């Protein structure tokens, strides 16, 4: 049977490789760096555990549960503390708990009376079904009101995409929201009536999906998949060129600085698009991935700070706080990491993970570590009543963090589908195609393996 070249040892590539190998399809995962995991990056230092990339996996699909089981990781799975379900949004320069029930919504100080009335009115706002693409900001202003955009959605968008609501496409970045209007005429009606259909499909809405991690952080997942894949993973092996041959693809890569070559039946492109755009490709039909280099990934710095419990006035009992731009702070938001998972800090201490930069303040992300700690501590002093110096501090700079599914992003997705159709044996999957979350990337890896397997099976040959 021919083998599959997987470019990128992030969660998408590793998941796809693991699934293919379990189905008996030989794979090689080429990873440019010296480690697996890509955007997943966990550091254990003393009693602290820092997550510089994602902090949790949202279990939106039974496929994610199955992957954890198949990887043998059920016993290492860590569910959050039940008390950590509360989420806060900053308004009036303080964190306010988000309401968890309809009654709570009508009594919360998070929204004014006019904001609350906008929600009551939403089911009666005429649905727009003209197929014209709209930003999430325009969508929210049209269906709710400006207050909802400025005080809720802006913060949510910063928390998920580190993005700009005026630029993100509702159809591309929040397709389920757009689909609710299309199908039910209203987000609120869709939430109510769509619940039954989601249950039938075994899916869970993102706002209700359980979150989890592992005893030693999310890095456990890529590290375990790498172990299961064994010799099939090549580290320090950036792929530089792909050449289509009559029966597959010749893959050129560097290993220990030396150029090397291998032959495979199919190629999965699971690296970020700005890296795919650099690949040299010689295909039977002219083909270039250069256009994908235009996809914007704004810079983000993750700042992880530890404090003595008594030095933080706020109880931090919850998942974390989202911060709308209008509130005037520099950080985008903070995860109360050790409230979620107590083993992320030594006894009597807290770990707080904050994010700086994104589309809101891209210039701040690349500041020096000292400046980033100062920026973060200054905001945490006001918001959480933090005093004293941090007992632990670490940061990580992502020059290109998260792809922005901005207005017009559909043309990149259409181009991927077009290339896959015209160029048999080339597959696209991962955060740039099927949703930016970790859970989406895992499902994307599983689904692409399901597409690659029959392709390889139907092209059995003695080579590669
Ligand atoms: C700061 C931050 C916070 C996040 N927070 C969350 C969160 O809280 N929840 C959530 O669900 N998601 C979150 N995400 C998103 C999620 O982590 C990613 O979308 C997901 O991990 C992407 O996985 P991937 O495998 O598709 O890509 P990546 O993780 O980017 O992996 C791609 C891999 O390809 C490799 N590569 C690049 N070029 C080449 C080449 N030429 N040859 C070989 N290999 C190459 C790279 O080194 C990398 O290892 C966050 C992301 C970031 C950056």
Mean pLDDT of 27-39: 98
Predicted confidence at residue 462, as pLDDT, reads 40
> Which is the closest atom of ligand 1 to the Cα of 279?
41
Q: Is the CB of 445 under 6 A from ligand 1?
A: no
Our measurement of the distance from residue 126's CA atom to the centroid of its chain's CA atoms, rounded to an integer in Å, reads 32
Mean pLDDT of 317-334: 98
Beta strands in 60-115 (DSSP E): 77-78, 87-91, 94-97
Q: Is the CB of 390 under 6 A from ligand 1?
A: no
Mean pLDDT of 377-392: 97
* 14: three-class secondary structure by DSSP: helix
Q: Is the CB of 441 under 6 A from ligand 1?
A: yes
Substitution site in 5, 10, 17, 341 for ligand 1 pocket (most atoms within 8 Å of beta carbon): 10
Predicted confidence at residue 464, as pLDDT, reads 39
Q: Is the CB of 357 under 6 A from ligand 1?
A: no
Residue located nearest, by CA, to atom 3 of ligand 1 = 53
pLDDT for 461 beyond 70: no
Region label for 46, one of left (φ > 0), alpha (ψ between -120 and 50) or beta (otherwise): left
pLDDT > 70 in the chain, percent: 98
Predicted confidence at residue 40, as pLDDT, reads 98
Substitution site in 5, 8, 436 for ligand 1 pocket (most atoms within 8 Å of beta carbon): 8
238-256 pLDDT, tens digit per residue, is 999 999 999 999 999 999 8
Q: How far apart are CA 425 and CA 435, in angstroms?
A: 22
pLDDT for 198 beyond 90: no
The 3-class SS string of 42-54 reads EEEECCEEEECCC
- State the maximum Cα–Cα separation within the chain, in Å, rounded to a whole number: 71
Q: What is the DSSP letter of 452?
A: H
Q: Is the CB of 30 under 6 A from ligand 1?
A: yes
Predicted confidence at residue 207, as pLDDT, reads 74
Q: Is the CB of 11 under 6 A from ligand 1?
A: yes
Mean pLDDT of 350-379: 98
Whole-model pTM?
Answer: 0.96
Axis-axis angle for helices 175-184, 136-143 (nearest 10)? 40
Strands 42-45, 48-51: pairing is antiparallel
Predicted confidence at residue 463, as pLDDT, reads 42
60-116 pLDDT, tens digit per residue, is 999 999 999 999 999 999 999 988 989 999 999 999 999 988 889 999 999 999 999
Tokens of 447: 């689904």
Q: Is the CB of 403 under 6 A from ligand 1?
A: no
Predicted confidence at residue 102, as pLDDT, reads 85
Predicted confidence at residue 99, as pLDDT, reads 94
Q: What is the DSSP letter of 46?
A: T
Residue with the larger pLDDT of the pair 300 and 197: 300
Our measurement of the distance from residue 79's CA atom to the centroid of its chain's CA atoms, rounded to an integer in Å, reads 19
pLDDT > 90 in the chain, percent: 89
Are the C-beta atoms of residues 306 and 349 closer than 8 Å to each other?
yes
Q: How many CB atoms are located within 10 Å of the residue 353 CB?
A: 23
Mean pLDDT of 138-159: 96
Residue located nearest, by CA, to atom 1 of ligand 1 = 53
Substitution site in 15, 54, 233 for ligand 1 pocket (most atoms within 8 Å of beta carbon): 54
Predicted confidence at residue 460, as pLDDT, reads 65
> Which is the closest atom of ligand 1 to the Cα of 271?
34
> Which is the closest atom of ligand 1 to the Cα of 55?
8
Substitution site in 232, 438, 440 for ligand 1 pocket (most atoms within 8 Å of beta carbon): 438
Predicted confidence at residue 243, as pLDDT, reads 97
Our measurement of the distance from residue 201's CA atom to the centroid of its chain's CA atoms, rounded to an integer in Å, reads 22
**Per-residue confidence band for 50, with pLDDT thresholds at 50, 70 and 90:** very high
Beta strands in 227-298 (DSSP E): 233-234, 239-245, 248-255, 258-264, 266-269, 280-282
Q: What are phi and psi of 207, to 5 degrees?
A: -75, -15
Predicted confidence at residue 83, as pLDDT, reads 85
């Amino acid at each position: 049977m021919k083998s599959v070249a997987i470019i990128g040892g992030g969660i998408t590539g590793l998941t796809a490789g693991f699934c293919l190998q379990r189905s008996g399809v030989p794979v090689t995962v080429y990873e440019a760096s010296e480690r697996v995991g890509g955007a997943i990056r966990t550091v254990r230092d003393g009693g602290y555990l820092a997550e510089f990339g994602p902090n949790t996996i949202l279990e939106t699909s039974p496929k994610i549960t199955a992957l954890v089981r198949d990887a043998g990781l059920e016993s290492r799975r860590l569910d959050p503390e039940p008390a950590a379900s509360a989420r806060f949004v900053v308004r009036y320069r303080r964190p306010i708990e988000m309401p968890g029930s309809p009654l709570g919504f009508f009594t919360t100080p998070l929204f004014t009376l006019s904001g609350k009335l906008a929600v009551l009115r939403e089911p009666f706002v005429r649905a727009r079904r003209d197929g014209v693409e709209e930003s999430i900001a325009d969508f929210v202003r049209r269906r709710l009101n400006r207050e909802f955009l400025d005080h809720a959605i802006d913060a949510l968008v910063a928390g998920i995409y580190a993005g700009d609501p005026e630029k993100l496409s509702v159809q591309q970045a929040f397709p389920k929201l757009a689909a609710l209007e299309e199908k039910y005429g209203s987000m609120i009606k869709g939430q109510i009536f769509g619940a039954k259909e989601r249950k039938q499909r075994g899916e869970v809405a993102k706002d209700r999906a359980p979150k989890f991690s592992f005893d030693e952080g999310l890095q456990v997942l890529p590290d375990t998949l790498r172990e299961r894949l064994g010799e099939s993973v090549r580290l320090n092996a950036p792929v530089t060129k792909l050449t289509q041959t009559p029966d597959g693809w010749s893959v050129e890569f560097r290993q220990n600085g030396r150029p090397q070559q291998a032959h495979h039946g199919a190629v999965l492109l699971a690296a970020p698009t700005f890296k795919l755009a650099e690949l040299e490709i010689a295909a039977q039909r002219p083909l270039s991935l250069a256009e994908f280099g235009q996809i914007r990934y704004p810079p983000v710095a993750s700042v992880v700070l530890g404090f003595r419990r008594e030095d933080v006035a706020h109880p931090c009992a919850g998942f974390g706080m989202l911060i709308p731009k209008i509130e005037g702070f520099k950080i985008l938001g903070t995860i109360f990491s050790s409230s979620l998972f107590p083993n992320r800090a030594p006894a009597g201490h807290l770990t707080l993970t904050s994010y700086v930069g994104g589309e809101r303040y891209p210039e701040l992300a690349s500041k020096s570590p000292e400046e980033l700690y100062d920026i973060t501590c200054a905001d945490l002093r006001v918001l959480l009543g933090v005093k004293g110096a941090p007992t632990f501090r670490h940061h990580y700079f992502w020059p290109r963090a998260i792809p922005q599914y901005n207005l017009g992003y559909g043309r990149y997705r259409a181009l991927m589908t077009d290339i896959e159709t015209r160029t048999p044996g080339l597959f696209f999957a991962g955060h740039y195609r099927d949703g930016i979350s970790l859970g989406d990337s895992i499902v994307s890896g599983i689904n692409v393996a399901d597409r690659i397997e029959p392709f390889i099976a139907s092209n059995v040959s003695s080579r590669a």
